[in-house]
Structure 1
């Protein structure tokens, strides 16, 4: 993982839809030890590393598992990008896309959870979800159970709803692993990749 990615800071912008009366200062609370208002949180460096592991850092535009043109750290190409499959970008452009996409995902999570207090690792898992599937797919119409769990402050049920395993209507093994990792981050603050290889006594590598 590049230090440029690891050291990236994506400042959370103010969102007028949130009442500042609910804001809790991180000077008073440690979000790794106590749940705080999502407005006070930004994605952690550990989550950025996990995200880059999941998405990879690719400098040539390719099609993802759903067939969408993608580049950088899982950045979906937009018409404004002016890029097509096979085009190459610089590493600096990849980081700029990541910064912009993370800021959007953070805002999406803050709109999703509203006033529900959350830990840093819970916020990270939800950022990964929104980054991966898009804010539209976690809306009340598309993900009613997730939204109901948030409304009921039912953290166990929120974790259960973090499983998104299909792309273009088909189950993707990579998304199954990613969902497993996302749920572990949310429930246990465990960021390890479940696909980490193991070597047996005979020297054979297994996933």
Structure 2
């Protein structure tokens, strides 16, 4: 594999309902609809129904280092859940829960006192008048498939909206869905 002459690192606010890849099935929205620099690809994934910070790069060794489970770089998510979890439930999440036969590693979980300032989601989440919602900040050092959604479901609080706000030191900042900016490795690790 030939190393690119210019290494690129891109922080993108991946919109809801967009795959974390450049190709998809007919009718699927992909990163191909966003005018990104040529030759970059996603460092890790965000599910189609999740949004927020996605790092893209053409630096394969750096991506491998960033996403390899042994390195345990923190990733933080803003998570809107159905109903308001109590302290015992939050402690369950912090200690780790069993999902699909796997025990998640301990993580940081905070119940936010107010709704975070985020751009509206299109389409908006389904609202149910008689069921309150709460926002959590969950910080993980691992990234199993759909892990945050499975964790909140396992303790009885389904995820309604999921926004990744940081990877390592890199934060979403003021980016809006579909916007991106160039960053450096020093911004990330």
Same fold (TM over 0.5): no
Could you say which structure has the greater relative contact order, defined with CA pairs below 8 angstroms and 6 or more residues apart? Answer: 2
Greater fraction strand: 2
Task: Report the TM-score, using the length of structure 2 for normalisation.
Answer: 0.26
Task: Report the TM-score, using the length of structure 1 for normalisation.
Answer: 0.25
